[in-house]
Amino acid sequence: MTIHADRDTSTEDPATKPADTPADQPVATPARPTIRSRAWMFVCRLAGCEVDAPAAKAPADPGVVFESSKEPAAVLADQLTKTYSGGVTAARDVSLRAEAGEIVAVVGPNGAGKSTTLNMISGLLHPTSGSATVADVPTTDTRRLGVVLGVALQTSGLDPAMTGLEHFEVQGALYGLSRTVAAQRTKTLIETFGLTPYANRQASQYSIGLQRRLVLALALVHEPQVLVLDEPTAGLDPQSRRMVWEMLEQLRGQGRTIIFSTQLLEEADMLAQRIYVISDGKVVAEGSPAQLRRTFGEQSIRVRVPGSLDPAEAALAGLPTLTDPRRDGDSLVYTVGDANPDVTAVATRLTEAGIDYVEIAVGRPSLEDAFVRLTGDGVRVEPLLTMGSNGGPLCRCS
Ligand SMILES: Nc1ncnc2c1ncn2[C@@H]1O[C@H](COP(=O)(O)OP(=O)(O)OP(=O)(O)O)[C@@H](O)[C@H]1O
């Protein structure tokens, strides 16, 4: 006899979304003639907006070095709602929080409102109603927000003609870092993110994985307390994805607060202490991965017996904890609502009936179960990576 736990996975492809309308462009700053001009254009591209979009975020005074506090910070979003000019309400009363030093995942199917929510938290998109603070800074205070917040959006927005190093130079200038400080941080980040061999190459020569790493590294130049990352691993191969995961774990280890969106349930499960499930613009569930499983997943017991299933089904018929019996090949499968299913009672019943069962397996609820129940839709579930011999135990593999 074997008694064990297992989980299921499935996959779903992402879709596209309509282009931004001018009125809904993320906030950007006016272009100025000098290095700042390039800097703001660069930021605009990072934000996915046009360079002549309305101004809001003021640049640092030249020569001023912004040194953000190293204290951990929290993010609070209070009933954020966004209705685009076309009439689409992409976020409805979205409230979420990230405690200092937490990694928080915003998960949902395509078009659920993840990017819209993150853009509002980043101060890049004005909410129709509601408010948010990052490290106690209101997102409307874009000048101070830029000090405490680092943002890496889905669209990399890198200038294909600029080298990696030039991107760092622009970013350093944007945040008013002195040349010495900027050079030190650039060196550290380039090394940390494995970009040294590519530092002098134009971004046009970067793979998607390298672009993501560069964008993430650039978001850290001013040493922000909080990071907002929109699908940081989208489109990455398993090796690059793993590298990003390790970086996020390291950043959390440094006391930073991270909010990221993903369509990968396993990614959220593995990295996040708190998950927000968004569907149709609304938060439909919040909790730790374990809480979500417990609350929304369905546990099941699978009983495998040799020969006919009839005697086993008859023997188990009276057990109150077993519901929704169904047959699956050589097994009987029951739903069990109890967090601790009484496997012993099942085994005893079968033994008393003289049935020599092959296996009794308890299936623990998966996040996929939770998603399907919450959103009526699937979110991509990809197999966890096989860690190489040098890979740390990043995954909470079952
Ligand atoms: N600028 C815009 N103007 C009008 N509608 C928009 C705009 N941006 C997004 N939407 C719509 O708002 C809804 C939410 O989009 P959003 O990009 O926030 O979802 P998402 O969860 O990030 O999706 P995905 O995972 O596909 O990136 C979708 O219906 C989308 O088509």
Asked if the model's pLDDT at residue 49 lies above 60, the reply is no
- In this structure, the residue with its CA closest to atom 28 of ligand 1 is 111
ipTM: 0.98
Closest-lying ligand 1 atom to the alpha carbon of residue 24: 1
- Cα(322)–Cα(317) distance, rounded to whole angstroms? 8
Q: Does residue 390 surpass a pLDDT of 50?
A: no
Whether 36 is in the pocket of ligand 1, judged by its Cβ within 6 Å, is: no
Q: Is the CB of residue 230 below 6 angstroms from any atom belonging to ligand 1?
A: no
Q: How far, in Å, is the centroid of ligand 1 from the Cα of 138?
A: 24
- The fold for domain 22-290 equals Rossmann fold (3.40.50)
Neighbours of 3 (CB within 10 A): 13
Does residue 382 have a pLDDT over 80? no
> What's the pLDDT score for residue 53?
32
Residue nearest to atom 12 of ligand 1 (CA): 90
393 CB less than 6 Å from ligand 1? no
Q: Yes or no: say if 1 and 304 are a contact pair by the CB < 8 Å rule.
A: no
Other residues' Cβ atoms within 10 Å of the Cβ of residue 20: 17
pLDDT tens, residue by residue, 144-188: 999 999 999 865 678 999 999 999 999 999 888 999 999 999 999
Fold designation for 298-364: Alpha-Beta Plaits (3.30.70)
- 221-252 tens-digit pLDDT: 999 999 999 999 887 888 888 888 888 998 89
Structure tokens at 287: 């909790």
Q: What is the pLDDT of residues 273-315, one digit of tens each?
A: 999 989 899 998 898 887 877 666 667 788 999 999 999 999 9
- Extents of the domains making up the chain: 22-290, 298-364
Say how far apart CA 268 and CA 381 lie, in whole Å. Answer: 10
Label residue 335 by pLDDT band (50, 70, 90): confident
Cβ neighbors of 205 (< 8 A, separation 6 or more) are 198
